[in-house]
Each structure stands twice: as C-alpha cells, then as structure tokens.
Amino acid sequence: MRDERREQDARPGAVWAVIASDIGPLLLAATDAGLVTVVFHATDAVRDKALERLGSRLGTEPVEDPAAPLLAEPIRQFRAYFAGERRDFELPLDWSLISGFNRQVLRELAAGVPFGTVVGYGDLARRVGQPGAAQAVGMAMGANPLPVVVPCHRVVESDGGIGGFGGGLETKRQLLALEGVLPEPLF
C-alpha cells in the first residue's frame, strides 16, 4: 500500500495556461516530462472540457499557472513561431497521451516533415511501414494531442486537397500560409 501511495505522489502533475495566437486562444499544458497537450480555440467551454479530459487521463487535476517554469519555453517558442521567428519547436514532449500506431505516426511526422513542406496521408503511412493505412493516419492526426508542435496541419490529401483538421480547415489554412505552403488570404 505504501509503495502505491508513493507511486501516486510521484505521478507528474500538469500545469496549464491559455495564450493568444494568430489562430485564436491556445491551451498549453505541460508535465515534468514535457509539453503534453495543445488545444485549439480554448474558449472557456473548450478549455474546461480539455482540462477535465486531461485530468482524467493523467490521474491528477491540471493547475493553471502561466508563470510555471514548465510552460516558459513552450510559451516563448509558440510566440516566436507565430511571429515568424521560429520554424521548429525544440521542446521536450510528454507522449503519454498517445500510444501504438498513432504514436509511431506522430513521431515520424514530427521528425520527418519539416516547416514549409507537406506530406500525403498515404505517404506518411508508407513511411511507418503500413502502406495501406492512409485512413488510419488520418485518425492518428485527429488524435494528435500536440498539434502545431507535432505538425498534423502538414498532412494533406495526395490529390492536392487540404484534408481534414481537428482545429478546423481555416486554422489549417492559416498555419500552412504562415509556413509558406499556401498563399496568405487576400482578405
């Protein structure tokens, strides 16, 4: 019993903050292991639901702390990215919210699809040794707990379509425009 209690006490807590960005408010949450989640459109209702889900998954209630040292570097890098001063995120990531095929695909995406480029769902499936798994890659993109940092916005349809996006197609267009893949909207 004592070991179980010690293990629970040692379980990392999470801190979170909402920051403004060019694509709307973003919720960033981190544990001792690294950035654990990024949530688009972090209005009060979206934020509350995301934090409830995160707390359930981590087994501890996330604490709002915009000044937390665990969030300082993620906040700095997000601001630099949206200011056009950063092309790559160099952050420790907590992969605990994702496993199996989804984790494999997301790690390949993070490592192998640089700023200003795109990859097709099928191409990404081939890269992880599952050439027939384009639809499963799409599901993995939808389950990505770390969008922008693990750039699921860079995954598009092989026929030139933009594909889907959990943050909404306009958000995907904005991110691809920021990276020079798509032209900036005229208005």
Q: Is 100 exposed, middle or buried (0-12, 13-18, 19+ CB in 10 A)?
A: exposed
Alpha helices (H) in 59-184, listed in sequence order? 69-82, 100-112, 121-127, 134-142, 169-178
What pLDDT does 13 receive?
A: 84
For residue 85, what are its two tokens? 């001063």
- The active-site residue, picked from 152, 175, 176, 178, is 152
What pLDDT does 3 receive?
A: 40
What pLDDT does 183 receive?
A: 81
User: What would you measure as the largest C-alpha separation in the chain, in angstroms?
Assistant: 63
Model pTM score? 0.89
Q: What percent of the chain has pLDDT over 70?
A: 91
Instruction: Say if CB 159 and CB 48 are below 8 A apart.
Output: no
Q: How far is CA 157 from CA 23, 32, 62, 83, in A?
A: 22, 36, 36, 28
Helix (H, G, I), strand (E, B) or coil at 176: helix
What pLDDT does 164 receive?
A: 87
**129-160 confidence digits (pLDDT tens):** 999 999 999 999 999 999 999 999 999 998 88
Task: State yes or no: pLDDT of 123 exceeds 50.
Answer: yes
Can you tell me the mean pLDDT for 53-59? 95
**154-180 confidence digits (pLDDT tens):** 999 988 888 889 899 999 999 999 999
What pLDDT does 23 receive?
A: 95
93 counts as catalytic: no
